[in-house]
Structure 1
Amino acid sequence: MTKFFRTNDDSPDDEELEEEIKTMYPGFVYRVSDSPALPQVPMHIVVPFLGRLRFVRDWNGVLLLAFVVLCFMYSIFTTTFIIILPQYQDGNLSGPFALFYGFLNVMCLLTLLNVSTMNPGEVTSQDTDDYKDPAVSSYCKTCHLNRPPRGYHCVKCGHCVRRMDYHYTWLNNCVGADNHHLLLLFLVYTFLLCLTTLTLVMFHLYKFPKCISCDREAFYIKHSIWLVYIQNILCVIIGFQTFVSIVVQHLNIIMNRTILENIFLSPVYETKKRTKFQAYAELFKTKSVWLWFFPCRRKAMAVPQRGFFHP
């Protein structure tokens, strides 16, 4: 399982709390003294038109990420060739609705690509000058670098991450200060896609007539009922999980918390009161709400180093 090292010298050394956490999450939380050898650092791949992509060399993460992509491909193929195209050709489905479905698929794949390949906020030697003040920083005994107080060390990635939320194995990447907004976008677009797909499946099973223009001898048409049932099960499971994740992320964002801080029972980090809009504006680094939904936008660099998401 993913192991994290909390190497904050200022953190309380409570043995009972450590044992309680290890009991709740067996094989999960370790201190530096228990840490095994670090893996290789993430590699970077240069892809034409996509640029320099981050890639964590973890086979479990690669397989889970491949499974996520496979589920998307299955959903796109089944819904497009069994429901959308035949019903659109027969005049039972409008063009704008089909375009909306395609838009959701594109946004899901774009956010998945970005959140799984973007640097989550790695703490490097160039950042040490910004975190020399012991009152607002901590020292990582594994990286031998100063880091923000809310930074954690991830053994999968081999470095510390600023305001680390969690290492999501199914994304094969950490989520931190620089790509947290992409995780939220991916969850929102995936949930909308699941709702749209479930709506199409229900109409296909109970409302739409049998297709006239489709090739009834095609394999996916002859066995469409089973393919659609599998699609329905996937949408229910993934939709429920993404809905729960959205609720958890929303609560953490407005309360200024992360998944790891909840696991480690860290004290509440507060600097000032803020509204829900301010919380999301700081997460997306812009007050223009319409820009929040664009996954390819680079977050503004002219942001104060100390704040809710960049302490």
Structure 2
Amino acid sequence: MGLSLHFVVDPQGWCCVGAIFFIWLYNTLFVPKLILFPRFEEGHISIAAIWAYYLTSIFCVISLLRASTADPGKLQDTPKIPLTEQELWELCNKCNMMRPKRSHHCSRCGHCVRRMDHHCPWINNCVGEDNHWLFLQLCFYTQLLSGYTLVLDFCHYYYFLPLKAINWDMFIFRHELALLRISTFMGIVMFGGMCSLFYTQIMGILTDTTTIEKMANCCDEISRARKPWQQTFSEVFGTRWKILWFIPFRRRQPLRVSYYFANHV
């Protein structure tokens, strides 16, 4: 929890994170140079459009880096079990360690994670109690950035007037069509994939159910939502201040209300 770094040694995961980072870097470099800056110089868009793009891009990459390196909720080797919660702990049959209920053993990482949702190769990390909020931010800002990119690509060809004062001898303008087609393709893939994933995550939070519990079909008792949506989201993000749910730079602090309460009353 906090700002401590957590790395998973998995070459396949590193490749997945590298692919996501490449898509982010590609669009962050070429979309402003091909569309935003030339359109701003010719008066087609305002400076606010450029600031909005870069702000969304920064939030997107910060969420990616933090979700990839944050501790998802790895259990300590000798966890301290509060006397009032002993009945809420169980023995893991894989690592023979005591863990809170709703924890799961990740075979790829080799340890148990509190309230583990799933292991995501695209961030090379588990999604658990302590970094679930960062994963949600990553999904949100990725679909926001990819959607914004698709709108800019569309307007560049079908809405804005043709550019006049540009240097066609530059590489990026000579290959403008190919570069923007690649950008559009990546935008469609990322936007479609992230919308589906984000919807699944939101529904899981609303029903207070993890992805693993859904796949295991063992969550009949858990899937009945007994908390208001504000409470379930506040427990995931670690704060009741809704504006802070969108800020990836802060430190998460767990709420005083235990997330086990609703399932063991």
In the superposition, the TM-score normalised over structure 1's length comes to: 0.79
- Structure 1 residue 212, shift from structure 2 partner: 2.8
- Please, which of 113, 118, 121 is the counterpart of residue 169 of structure 1? 121
Query: Once the two structures are superposed, what CA deviation does each residue of 1:221-247 show, in whole Å capped at 9, x if it has no partner?
Result: 111111111111111111011111111
State the alpha-carbon separation in 2 of the partners of residues 307 and 272 from structure 1: 13
- 1:45-194 equivalence runs, <5 A: 52-130=4-82, 135-194=87-146
- Please, which of 232, 235, 238 is the counterpart of residue 187 of structure 2? 235
- Structure 1 residue 138, shift from structure 2 partner: 1.1
Residues 75/225 of structure 1: CA separation in 2 closer, same or farther (3 Å cut): same
State whether structure 2 residue 192 is matched by structure 1 residue 246. Answer: no
- Structure 1 residue 293, shift from structure 2 partner: 0.4
8 A Cα contact 1:143 1:159, kept in partner:
yes
**Counterpart of 1:54 in 2: which secondary structure?**
coil
8 A Cα contact 1:128 1:147, kept in partner:
no
Question: Which residue of structure 2 lines up, in the alignment, with residue 292 of structure 1?
Answer: 245
Residues 132/307 of structure 1: CA separation in 2 closer, same or farther (3 Å cut): closer
**Counterpart of 2:98 in 1: which secondary structure?**
strand
Question: Which residue of structure 2 lines up, in the alignment, with residue 10 of structure 1?
Answer: none
**Counterpart of 2:5 in 1: which secondary structure?**
strand
- Please, which of 193, 198, 212 is the counterpart of residue 260 of structure 1? 212
**Which letter maps to 2:19?**
F
- Structure 1 residue 116, shift from structure 2 partner: 0.5
**Which region of structure 1 is more displaced relative to structure 2, 134-143 or 231-240?**
134-143
Residues 217/261 of structure 1: CA separation in 2 closer, same or farther (3 Å cut): same
Residues 302/250 of structure 1: CA separation in 2 closer, same or farther (3 Å cut): closer
Question: Which residue of structure 2 lines up, in the alignment, with residue 19 of structure 1?
Answer: none
Query: Once the two structures are superposed, what CA deviation does each residue of 1:33-61 show, in whole Å capped at 9, x if it has no partner?
Result: xxxxxxxxxxxxxxxxxx74221100000
8 A Cα contact 1:283 1:309, kept in partner:
no
State whether structure 2 residue 151 is matched by structure 1 residue 199. Answer: yes
Residues 231/309 of structure 1: CA separation in 2 closer, same or farther (3 Å cut): farther
**Which letter maps to 1:293?**
F
Number of matched residues?
262
Query: Once the two structures are superposed, what CA deviation does each residue of 1:242-286 show, in whole Å capped at 9, x if it has no partner?
Result: 111111111110111111111111123449721112211121121
State the alpha-carbon separation in 2 of the partners of residues 65 and 310 from structure 1: 35
State the alpha-carbon separation in 2 of the partners of residues 272 and 106 from structure 1: 35
State the alpha-carbon separation in 1 of the partners of residues 107 and 84 from structure 2: 23
8 A Cα contact 2:63 2:138, kept in partner:
yes
- Identity, in percent, stands at 29
Unaligned runs of 5+ in 1: 1-50
8 A Cα contact 2:63 2:248, kept in partner:
yes
Question: Which residue of structure 2 lines up, in the alignment, with residue 278 of structure 1?
Answer: 231
**Which letter maps to 1:303?**
R
CA RMSD of aligned residues (A): 2.3
**Counterpart of 2:56 in 1: which secondary structure?**
helix
State the alpha-carbon separation in 2 of the partners of residues 52 and 240 from structure 1: 32
Query: Once the two structures are superposed, what CA deviation does each residue of 1:103-153 show, in whole Å capped at 9, x if it has no partner?
Result: 100000010011010000001134242489663111113332110111111
**Which letter maps to 1:246?**
F
- Please, which of 122, 145, 168 is the counterpart of residue 216 of structure 1? 168
In the superposition, the TM-score normalised over structure 2's length comes to: 0.91
State the alpha-carbon separation in 2 of the partners of residues 272 and 204 from structure 1: 45
**Which letter maps to 2:105?**
H
State the alpha-carbon separation in 1 of the partners of residues 250 and 21 from structure 2: 22
